[in-house]
Amino acid sequence: MEVAYRTRLTTTLDVTRLLLKQGLPFRGHDELLSSSNKGNFLELIEWYTQRNDEVAKTMNENAPGNNQMNSPTVQKDLTRACIAEVTNVILNDIKDNIFSLMVDECRDISIKEQMRVVLRYVNKHGCVIERFLAIVHVSDTSAISLKKTIDELFAKHKLSLSKLRGPGYDGASNMRGEYNGLKALILKENSFARYVHCFAHQLQLVVVAVAKSNRIVLDMMVQEMNNRFSESSTEVLTCIACLDPKDSFSQFDIGKLLLLAELYPEDFSLTNRVILEDQLETYIQNVRGEFSMIEDLGSLAKKMLALVLPVATASVEKVFSAMKIIKIDLRNRMGDEWMNDSLIIYIKKDIFATIENEQILQHFQEMNTRRIQLSPLVYMSRFDAGRI
């Protein structure tokens, strides 16, 4: 009985994984047995059953009426198990390290405000990673509402606001407002979470502003640059640029790096800052020899943990592009949770591909009390072995 149950469940999971990976809808308009098109999920189950005898022996009419394992509830539970495993990979990669938060909001096809959240961190291999964490429906786009949603999301995933550095947003007033914006609300709780306005967005605003002007002069371009690129955010970027390895670290400036340490006293204690100057002297002597072949910051990031702060929020914009693929006119009634789940898998295919079926199946079993208990995998047929 358990072997048959495992086969049914694994078949359902295989179909679920395929549809999630491709960003395709599950349900059909008419799922009755007499329907000529029952929707992607049931049609794929039927296609699978017709082409595999092992599956055919356990599915549909050969399965107990109360244990078909292809209902919408099972589909959603398996999807949630997939999401949980993917999210665990991301959170385990971050662990207790510092990270940046990139946030933006926009309306979906059904005119609902959706907030997109991306995390940026440096993994144990020294590589800068940006991971989509969630998309959350917000009742409005006020700073208070966005902050409340972020707090709930952090609590759900056990992320600490104290570990946040350099949150990146666009230049809207609800984001960057000095007194009531999201930037200000976060700074009240964490003075080290220094706001970074997406530099790509700032540059775009400069070009648009100048292009709209009837006058031509270089001075106007400079003035607009000064208006858009704030002194504080530019200061951080300038300090980070001192680590550029190009031309044997020609831009290396100990004074600016000491200033960067002062901006983050939570990460650099007074004692650390006192000895930092001598350490930087030793550091530059060593790296100019060891890293002489490195030509850009991206390569250097694999060698040192220095690029947590975001410069641009392109990853957040990619989520918006993916949302337009997942939630189209024909799926405009898609629920918020289902859209979030679908997006996470669609965007994080690389992580999803590394997760074995058995992990997901065991997670699925633990979510609710099931009619049949699924033991940890000990025996499986050759058919199951090839699929799991």
Residues 33 and 182 in one domain: no
User: Cβ neighbours of residue 142 under 8 Å, at least 6 residues apart?
Assistant: 174
Residues 178 and 221 in one domain: no
Instruction: Confirm whether 376 is domain-assigned.
Output: yes
Contact (Cβ atoms closer than 8 angstroms) between residue 261 and residue 276: yes
Q: What is the pLDDT of residue 321?
A: 87
How many separate domains does the chain show?
3
Q: What is the pLDDT of residue 385?
A: 45
Residues 302 and 317 in one domain: no
Per-residue pLDDT of the chain (388 residues; tens, 9 = 90+): 788 888 999 999 999 999 999 999 998 888 888 888 899 999 999 999 999 998 888 888 877 777 888 889 999 999 999 999 999 999 999 888 888 888 888 888 888 889 889 998 888 777 788 899 999 998 888 888 889 999 999 999 999 998 887 777 765 666 766 557 788 888 888 887 777 766 666 666 666 676 666 555 656 666 666 666 665 666 777 777 777 777 777 788 888 888 878 877 777 778 887 888 888 887 777 667 655 555 565 555 544 455 566 666 667 778 888 999 999 888 888 899 999 999 999 999 999 999 999 999 999 999 888 777 777 764 344 345 444 4
Instruction: Confirm whether 75 is domain-assigned.
Output: no
Instruction: Confirm whether 89 is domain-assigned.
Output: no
List strands edge to edge, sheet with 168-169: 128-137, 113-122, 100-107, 168-169, 196-197
Instruction: Confirm whether 178 is domain-assigned.
Output: yes
Q: What is the pLDDT of residue 11?
A: 93
Residues 127 and 274 in one domain: no
Residues 240 and 150 in one domain: no
Q: What is the pLDDT of residue 313?
A: 65
Residues 176 and 262 in one domain: no
Distance of CA 228 to the CA centre of its chain: 28
Residues 315, 334: Cα–Cα separation, whole Å = 23
Please give the backbone phi and psi of residue 96, each rounded to the nearest 5 degrees, phi first.
Answer: -105, 20
Residues 287 and 372 in one domain: no
Instruction: Confirm whether 145 is domain-assigned.
Output: yes
Instruction: Confirm whether 159 is domain-assigned.
Output: yes
For residue 252, the enclosing domain spans: 199-308
Residues 102 and 155 in one domain: yes
The CA angle 178-182-183, to the nearest 5 degrees, is 55
Instruction: Confirm whether 77 is domain-assigned.
Output: no
Residues 204 and 299 in one domain: yes
Residues 323 and 185 in one domain: yes
Long-range pairs, 223-230, Cβ under 8 A, ≥24: 228/171, 228/202, 228/203, 229/197, 229/199, 229/202, 230/197
**How many CB atoms lie under 10 A from the CB of residue 282?**
9
Tokens 């938060």 -> residue: 101
Residues 163 and 22 in one domain: no
Q: What is the pLDDT of residue 201?
A: 65
Instruction: Confirm whether 81 is domain-assigned.
Output: no
Q: What is the pLDDT of residue 388?
A: 43
315: domain CATH number is 3.30.420
Residues 325 and 187 in one domain: yes
